[in-house]
Amino acid sequence: MKNKLEEIKKQALTEINSVNTLEEIESIKVKFLGRKGELTNIRRGIKDLSLEEKPVIGDLANRVAGEIESKIQEKYQALYKAEIAKKLETEKIDITLPGVSRPYGAQHPLTSTINDIAAIFQGMGFSLAENINSPEVETEYYNFDALNFPPDHPAKDMQDTFYTLNAPNLLLRSQTSNSQIRGMEKKAPPLRIISPGRVYRSEAVSSRKNNLFHQVEGLMVDKDVTFGDLKGVLNEFTRQFFGQSRPTRFRTSYFPFTEPSVEIDVQCIMCQGKGCRTCSGTGWLEILGAGMVDPNVLKNVNIDPDSYSGFAFGMGVERLAMLKYAINDIRLFFNNDVRFLEQF
Taking the domains of the chain in order of start, what are their residue ranges?
A: 2-90, 109-341
Does the pLDDT at position 49 exceed 80? no
Reduced to 3 states, what is the DSSP secondary structure of residue 148? coil
Q: Are 294 and 257 in contact (CB under 8 A)?
A: yes
Q: Which helix (H) or strand (E) holds 142?
A: helix 140-143
CA distances from 11 to 14, 25, 63, 189 (A): 5, 14, 15, 87
Radius of gyration of the chain from its Cα atoms, rounded to whole angstroms:
39
How many residues belong to the chain? 344
Does domain 109-341 sit in CATH 3.30.930.10?
A: yes
What's the rounded Cα separation, in Å, for the pair 171 and 167? 9
Does the pLDDT at position 60 exceed 80? no
Does the pLDDT at position 150 exceed 90? no
pLDDT value at residue 155: 66
Backbone angles phi, psi at 64, to 5 degrees: -65, -45
Does the pLDDT at position 10 exceed 90? no
DSSP label of 331 = G
pLDDT 10s digits, 237-247 = 998 998 877 78
pLDDT 10s digits, 74-131 = 888 888 888 888 888 888 777 888 888 887 888 899 999 999 999 999 999 999 998 8
User: What is the mean pLDDT of the segment spanning 1-7?
Assistant: 72
Does the pLDDT at position 290 exceed 70? yes
Does the pLDDT at position 232 exceed 70? yes
Does the pLDDT at position 159 exceed 60? no
What's the rounded Cα separation, in Å, for the pair 311 and 309? 7
What's the rounded Cα separation, in Å, for the pair 185 and 132? 13
Three-state SS across 31-79?
HHHCCCCHHHHHHHHHHHCCCCHHHHHHHHHHHHHHHHHHHHHHHHHHH
